[in-house]
Structure 1
């Protein structure tokens, strides 16, 4: 068999999809946590969530109409991140740069 290694042979695919998954799920957690934590809280978990996801929330604010409330922006950003992750995965699979479970 002349197939590349399942992990190391497709490292760009794994790094991008894993990074997008971490940001997407952190956005979902930020959306849920914002109902219990004030926006200027000093909690280290909240600060980490904001540090990791502020760029995505700002991008979502740019993409959606202004009448969408600030409360919903993390959820909208999570939707866009997961959509981009799916499109990236399909594109990499079509290009033959993603791992396959069975030989083609």
Structure 2
């Protein structure tokens, strides 16, 4: 009998990290309306710490006419896309858990 969690950690950990970062990018996009860019607010610093790498990557992948304030939203879209493609590849490779029990069919 396989464990739903421990046997599929190679699937769960990347999917969780991608989802967490993508939702944090959306939170950062929404929060930047209320908080100045260089604020000392600990929640804002947490969002920045968690999402700076994704925004940095998005800045290099999109054209320069995309405004700085929209980069967290672009990064979130990229992360959700990567998560979708990675999930489909993991399911097709048998690395993701199945909802049906083995042998059912």
The residue aligned with 1:9 is 7
1:12 is displaced (CA, Å) by 1.1
C-alpha distance in 2 between matches for 1:95 and 1:5:
18
Give the alignment's TM-score, normalised by structure 1: 0.95
Match of 2:82 among 78, 81, 84: 84
Q: In the alignment, which residue of structure 1 is the partner of 2:58? A: 60
The structure 1 segments of at least 4 consecutive aligned residues displaced by more than 6 Å after TM superposition are: none
Give the whole-Å Cα distance in 2 for the aligned partners of 1:61 and 1:23: 16
Q: Aligned partners of 2:4, 2:64: CA distance in 1, in Å?
A: 44
Structure 1, unaligned runs of 5 or more = none
Partners of 1:73 and 1:46 lie apart in 2 by 16
Match of residue 21 from structure 2: 23
Instruction: Kindly report the root-mean-square deviation, in angstroms, between the aligned alpha carbons of the 2 structures.
Output: 0.9
